[in-house]
Amino acid sequence: MGIEISPAALRRLWTVCSHYHGQVWNSSSVAGGLGESARTVKRHLDVLSGAFMLRQLQPWHENLMKRQVKSPKVYLRDSGILHSLLDIPNLDSLFSHPKLGASWEGFVIEEICRTIPRSQAFFWATHTGAEVDLLLLHQGRRIGFECKVADAPRVTKSMRIALNDLSLDELFVVVPRPGLYPLAPKITACGIGEAVAALREKT
């Protein structure tokens, strides 16, 4: 693929990315830890993204009187590789690991983005804590997704803020169990299969 970077350097960055999985990227902090310049780290990050191994999910900005996050989030696109780098050998270990929620979030985002590949995908977050894990702009509609590892998710203040501030047409709360049921007007809890099916109906 014409990658002219040492495998050891990419492996170090890849390992760092596994710990940043699902978090807002901080180039300066990562560069300092790796002993590289921020420009070099950004170039290596772009290489991993271009090789479809990493997703840099860009932030969405609304014209709001709020401070909004402006750096991307990073996700390893293959959950198996993520779990290997984090030394998670099996399902029991995953369910007791602090990255469980981030792992689920990354898996859901990949499945959703593969379902509607031509949509524009972002995340949205403010410095006061309101956020939506995934925002899709598709055929003039705004669809939000929150990823929760919970059997009985509840509507949160953050969800209501996102629904209002982003003028979402609907918000899906995706959980690791099958089923689909309403939580509130325009807010629906569902499994990943139901979320994918619902999106396919809209395309």
- Strand-pair category, 120-125 with 187-190: unpaired
Mention every residue, 6+ apart, whose C-beta is less than 8 A from residue 82. Answer: 18, 21, 76, 99, 103, 106
Mean pLDDT, residues 178-195: 94
What is the DSSP secondary structure assignment for residue 202, as one 8-state letter?
Answer: T
Report residue 107 as tokens: 């898996």
Q: Tell me the C-alpha distance between 195 and 145, whole Å.
A: 9
Q: Look at residue 65 and tell me whether its pLDDT is greater than 80.
A: no
Q: Tell me the C-alpha distance between 127 and 68, whole Å.
A: 6
Sheet strands side by side (includes 180-184): 120-125, 131-138, 141-147, 170-174, 187-190, 180-184
Percent of the chain with pLDDT over 90: 62
* Distances in whole angstroms, Cα of residue 60 to Cα of each of 48, 123, 159, 166, 184: 22, 6, 16, 10, 24
Confidence of residue 131 (pLDDT cuts 50, 70, 90): very high
The full set of domains in the chain, from first to last, is: 7-201 (3.40.1350.70)
Q: Tell me the C-alpha distance between 102 and 137, whole Å.
A: 23
Confidence of residue 11 (pLDDT cuts 50, 70, 90): confident
Q: Look at residue 4 and tell me whether its pLDDT is greater than 90.
A: no
pTM: 0.91
- Exposed (0-12), middle (13-18) or buried (19+): which is 181, by Cβ within 10 Å? exposed
Q: Look at residue 103 and tell me whether its pLDDT is greater than 80.
A: yes
pLDDT at 6: 80
Report residue 97 as tokens: 């690991």
Helix 192-201 × helix 100-115 angle, to 10°: 20
pLDDT at 2: 62
User: Higher confidence at residue 37 or residue 57?
Assistant: 57
Confidence of residue 117 (pLDDT cuts 50, 70, 90): confident
* 3-7, 42-46, 158-162: least confident range: 3-7
